[in-house]
Amino acid sequence: MTIPLTREDCAARDAADPLAPFRDEFVLPDGVIYLDGNSLGALPRATPARVARLVEHEWGQRLIASWNEAGWWDKPRTLGALLAPLLGAEADEVVVGDGTSVNLFKTVAAALWLRPDRRVVVAEAGNFPTDGYIAQGVVDLVDGASLRMVDVDDPAALAAALEPGDVAVVLLSHVDYRTGILRDMAAVTEMVHAHGALVVWDVCHSVGAVPLALAQTGVDFAVGCTYKYLNAGPGAPAFTYVARRHHERVRQPISGWHGHARPFDFAPEYEPAAGASRFLSGSQSLIAAAALEASLELWQRVDLAQVREKSLALTDLFVAVTAEAGLECVTPAEHERRGSQVALRHPDGYPIVQALIARGVVGDFRSPDILRFGFAPLYLRYVDVYDAARALVEVVTSGEWQDPRFAQRAQVT
C-alpha cells in the first residue's frame, strides 16, 4: 500500500480502517495525540467500572468469600489463559503476576538450573537496563556464574558469544526499547538452541503490537508487561511464558506458596505446581488484576494481523512526513526489522520532545539523544499521526524548542 502523504489521504485511510471502531473503546484526553502507548497504554472505557466492582463489591461486600466465588485464587492462571492467544501460546504456558524484573530473575535462574553444566548468561548490550541489572543479580548470587554482554543485532557477535559452549541462557528483547529494532525471534532462538543454550525473550515492547508465536518458534521462556500496548494501567502485572516441554523439570527460586502443588495443605515441604503455575510466588493485587482483565477482554476481539499491518502503515507515515525535519531515523526502514515505534535522533531531543508535548503531541525522550514515538493502532488514527508528524516538523524547523522552559528536566523522562 502506498504511504498517504496528505491529510485527505489519511482521512480516507481512517474511513477504511477495520480497527477504527476500537478507538471509541478508549478514554483519550481532549487535545492530545498520544504517541506514548508503548510506555503507558491508554485507559479502556470498560476499566473504571470493572475496577470499581472489584473494590466495592468483591472486596467491600464479599471480602474473603471472593477468593472462591470471584475466582481470585486462579486469577494468575485465568489471566494467563486470556493472554495466551496474544503470545501464540497455550493457556497453561502463561501465568500473570509480579513485575518484569522479578520474572526475568525467575526465568534466568530457572534456565541456569536447567543447564547445570553451563554457567554463562549472555545478555544484550544496550537492552533496557533492568534486563542487564537483573542478569547481573542472578550471576552474582549463583556460584561460578558470569555474564557476557553482546550486541545481539550483530549475528557474528552473538555466534561468537555462543561458540565456547558454556552459555546456559541468552536474555534479549524482541524489540529494542530505544531504536525500535525488531529482532528475528525464530532465527535467534534457533541459533541459541543450536549451541545448546536456552533463551529468555523480553517481549515488553512487542506484545500487543507484533503477532507472537512463542510456542511455534520454540521459545523457552518469555517475560513481558501489560501496561504498554495491552492497556492494563500504570505498573500493571507482568507475565511469564514457560514452554510446555520444560514443565516437568523446570524450577525457579522464588518458590512461594502460590506456586505450590497443594497450597492449602500448608505442607512444610515445597512441591511445585504443574505447568507455568510453579512460576508464581505470592499474592498479587486483585485490583490491578481487575484492570488487566478488562483490557484483555477487549484484546480478545482484536486481530493482531490487522494491528501489525496498521502499525507498519502508521510508522511508515510518520517517518515519511517527519523526513522534512531532517532528523536521523534510527528505526529500520525494513518492515521485518521494525517494531511499533519510531526513534529519531537529535542532540537536543529532550527540549524538542517537551516543545512537542506543549503542542499536545506526547512522545518521550530516551537518553542520550533519542526522540521516541510509539504507535498503538487501536486508538490512533492516520490523521493523528499525520498531525503529529507535521507538528514535529514545525517544532524543529521553527526553533520553538529553544525556549529555555523546554530544557528543564523532570525527574522522570
Per CB under 8 A, which region of 78-86, 139-147, 166-174, 314-322 contacts a second copy?
139-147
Residue 99 sits in the site that holds a second copy (CB under 8 A): yes
- Residue selected from 3, 23, 191, 283 as contacting a second copy according to rule CB under 8 A: 283
What backbone phi and psi angles, to 5 degrees, belong to 12?
-65, -40
Q: What would the x/- binding string for a second copy be over residues 316 to 355, using CB under 8 A?
A: ----------------------------------------
Q: Is residue 29 close enough to count as binding a second copy by CB under 8 A?
A: yes
Residue 297 as a binder of a second copy (CB under 8 A): the answer is no
Please report whether residue 156 would count as binding a second copy according to CB under 8 A: no
User: Residue 410 is placed in which grid cell?
Assistant: 523532570
- Provide the β-strand partners of residue 239: 96, 224
Residues recognised as catalytic? 128, 202, 227-228, 372
- Which of 43, 82, 150, 321 binds a second copy (CB under 8 A)? It is 43
State the minimum distance, in angstroms, from the CB of residue 259 to a second copy.
Answer: 8
Residues that bind a second copy (rule: CB under 8 A) add up to a total of 94
**Beta carbon of residue 42, minimum distance to a second copy (angstroms, whole number):** 7
In whole angstroms, how far apart are CA 411 and each of 128, 177, 353, 368? Answer: 18, 19, 15, 15
Hey, what's the torsion of the CAs at 413, 357, 390, 20, to 10 degrees?
90
> Is residue 72 a contact residue for a second copy (CB under 8 A)?
yes
- 281 binds a second copy, rule: CB under 8 A: yes
DSSP letter string over 322-346?
HGGG-PEE-S-SSGGGB-SEEEEE-
Measured between its terminal Cα atoms, the distance across the chain in Å is: 36
Cell 498479587 sits on residue: 284
DSSP state of 383: H
Nearest by Cα to 313 from 363, 396, 384? 384
Q: Is residue 258 part of the contact set for a second copy (CB under 8 A)?
A: yes
To a second copy, the closest distance from the beta carbon of 187 in angstroms equals 25
Shortest Cβ 170–a second copy spacing (Å): 17
Which one, of 305, 307, 304, 405, lies nearest residue 351 by Cα?
Answer: 405
Which residues contribute to the annotated binding site? 100-101, 128-131, 202, 205, 227, 257
CB of 212 or CB of 238, closer to a second copy: 238
Should residue 303 be labelled a site residue for a second copy when binding is judged by CB under 8 A?
no
Closest by Cα among 299, 298, 281 to 97: 281
| Cβ 181 vs Cβ 152: under 8 Å | no
Indicate which single residue of 23, 119, 255, 309 sits in contact with a second copy (rule: CB under 8 A).
255
Q: Of 142 and 329, which CB lies nearer to a second copy in the complex structure? A: 142
Own/partner long-range contacts of 267-275 (Cβ < 8 Å, ≥24 apart): 274/92, 274/247, 275/92, 275/93, 275/242, 275/244, 275/247
Kindly identify the residues of this chain, within the stretch 208-227, that bind a second copy according to CB under 8 A.
Answer: 225, 227
